[in-house]
Chains A and B, each alone.
Chain A
Amino acid sequence: MSATPEILPTRAAEAVAARPTMLQLLLRNRLAVTGGSLLLLLLICAAFAPLIAHQNPNGIHPSVRLQPPSAQHWFGTDDFGRDMFSRVIYGSRVSLEVGALVVLFTSAAGILFGLVAGYFRTLDNVIMRVMDALMAIPPVLLAIAIMASLGPSVGNVVFSLTVGYTPQLARVLRSQVLVLREVAFTEAARAGGVGEGRIAWRHVLPNALSPVIVQSTVTFASAVLSEAALSFLGVGEPPTVPSWGNELNDGRPYMVTAPWLTLLPGLAIMICVLAVNLLGDGLRDVLDPRLRNT
């Protein structure tokens, strides 16, 4: 019996610990940790590319063209004698940059359109019909068509993919906002005299963000895949940019005699997208408990 007073405070401490922060939940989630670590690894590759890969990814050495992987060239060399290890490592920069920028811009545009259409209901019909129309065009096709007009560059790839992936985000956010604008705490804020703009920004938006964050991981993954497809088709970045898609395109004619040229950049794409997808699944579990285990 004398132990009881000692147990009580521990129980209280446990109760506090039982409501962990979002980060703790994420760190406990196997999917998120695996995906996050992989992504971190890729980020390190991108940030410290010159330290990891000593050779110039665009350095042309005709004497060592199409060499299989060796101690000198870990991933072999391509038809210009360029070191594939360097090219794959540097490729992470392009993919991560495109993915991150597309997520940034689609989020900004999606939040703007979703909030304006869903909360203020001004232009709701116009905005959503435009989003419907954009969604009716397969994103890769839309991007190809836009790239045909704008010409190859990383910026244009980001722009064309942003146009294609914004509608999904705007739609997800709008449906959240439509519910949240009617719930009790927004009513309370309104009754308390808080301005509509402030309610939308400070009360509605933060509560609507969870699905947007999950959708963003999907956007990131799709953007990386689409970027690879665009440069594989020759309408992405200029051919000199060492991106994974360009490397696949360059290596394709030598697919049979030098399979490492198509195998390795493709694997790199897969690892990158897998990392984001794993992180996305983890985030979904943590942010939306209703969907847990499904």
Chain B
Amino acid sequence: MANFLVRRVLSIIPVMLIVSLFVFLLIHITPGDPASYMLGSSATPAQVRELRIQLGLNQPMYQQFLVWFGAAIRGNLGESIFMGIPVTLAIWQRLEPTFLLTVLGVVFEVLIGVPAGIVAASRRNTWLDQTVMMLSLLGLSMPSFWLGLNLILLFGVKLRVLPVAGYIPLARSVWGAFRSLLMPAFSLGFINAALVARMTRSSTLEMLSQDFVRTARAKGLANSRVLWRHAFRNAMLPVLTAVGNSFALLLGGLVVTEQVFAIPGVGQLVINAVDQRDYPVIQGALLYIVTLYVIINIVVDLVYAAADPRIRFS
């Protein structure tokens, strides 16, 4: 297991190196000079020159990358051009709602997706199965932010049971934070739940057709016991991978969802930075989110390896 862990962690080094290179290059694919692009047309030549020096744009490209990468690896993502604070601080200030939104989103995803998939598989080809599959297909087909808008209209405006938008920090009210994240987390989670439900259904069906399940049935075990003790546990492995992969959709969807619900999180930070062309923030936030995604997937792989010995020794 330790061996597997070491190999898995080492494998992210090339990935992160290349990701860093991409993120670094973002600033250089702008049309024209990045510094004047960032400051806009109203900037004076002196201001542009100053920013060029601040960002090191007057140095050769490889040197710029080495300096930037060297700092990033030590946790220094540079300073925001427009906010005047370090990028890491800007991210840190906005981490709480984003973190909670992600966790709550995954909770919805699993709580809706897994049971729905199992029900569909165990009642295969009945109206229940077809309803679940149709719903999940619809879920896969709608933009999460559109679902969010409709939820706002229904629960926020019509029924007035949940806040329309905004975020109440944990420090002020735990219950308030939960309430303000309920709709955004649901709209994020529901889309992924659709994916998880499909995955759960197909992998449960595959397990139900295996020899060991037939054996279990043959020796007279009850249907529910076969389903839960034999099929379910094995069927959950691919689902785990699906949940890990769904983080890409979740972290990407976060940006849009935070915008819809006016949640001051990392996603909103990215959008504000894009509006202001605040490159250190765009780059920093992107690098941060990718790092998070990579770590999440390592954790998923570890859980997978812990659950399935075949993985560890291959």
Contact at A138–B149, with CB atoms within 8 Å? no
Which of B46-54, B103-111, B251-259 contacts the other chain? B251-259
B158 to chain A, nearest CB (A): 10
Q: A139-B248, A294-B206 are in contact. Are A266 and B146 (CB under 8 A)?
A: yes
Contact at B252–A141, with CB atoms within 8 Å? yes
Residues of A within 8 A of B153 (CB): 255-256, 259
Does A104 sit within 8 A of B, measured CB to CB?
no
A285 to chain B, nearest CB (A): 12
Residues of A within 8 A of B248 (CB): 135, 138-139
Give the contacting residue for A266; candidates B140, B142, B201, B259; CB below 8 A.
Answer: B142
B137 to chain A, nearest CB (A): 6
Which of B59-67, B181-189, B270-278 contacts the other chain? B270-278
Does B205 sit within 8 A of A, measured CB to CB?
yes
The CA of A273 and the CA of B147, in the complex, are separated in Å by 14
Residues of B within 8 A of A136 (CB): 15-16, 19, 290, 293-294
Residue of A at shortest CB range from B152? A255
Does B26 sit within 8 A of A, measured CB to CB?
yes
Chain B residue total in the interface (Cβ 8 A): 51
Residue of A at shortest CB range from B287? A137
Q: A144-B270, A232-B256, A255-B153 are in contact. Are A137 and B286 (CB under 8 A)?
A: yes
Which of A79-87, A176-184, A199-207, A221-229 contacts the other chain? A221-229
Residues of A within 8 A of B17 (CB): 133
Contact at B206–A255, with CB atoms within 8 Å? no
Does B157 sit within 8 A of A, measured CB to CB?
yes
The CA of A274 and the CA of B149, in the complex, are separated in Å by 19
Contact at B137–A148, with CB atoms within 8 Å? no
Give the contacting residue for A138; candidates B205, B259, B293; CB below 8 A.
Answer: B293
Q: Mark A128-148, 1 if CB is under 8 A from B, else 0.
A: 011011111111111011111
Name the prevailing secondary structure of the A interface residues.
Answer: helix
Does A10 sit within 8 A of B, measured CB to CB?
no
Does A100 sit within 8 A of B, measured CB to CB?
no
Contact at A256–B157, with CB atoms within 8 Å? yes
Give 27 A-B contacts (CB < 8 Å), ordered by A residue. Answer: A129-B14, A132-B18, A133-B18, A135-B248, A136-B16, A137-B19, A140-B252, A141-B286, A144-B270, A144-B271, A145-B26, A145-B282, A145-B286, A148-B26, A149-B30, A150-B30, A226-B252, A229-B256, A232-B256, A259-B153, A270-B141, A273-B141, A273-B142, A274-B138, A277-B140, A281-B137, A294-B205
The 9 lowest CB-CB distance pairs between A and B, nearest first, are A140-B252, A138-B252, A133-B18, A266-B146, A274-B141, A273-B141, A294-B202, A148-B274, A138-B248
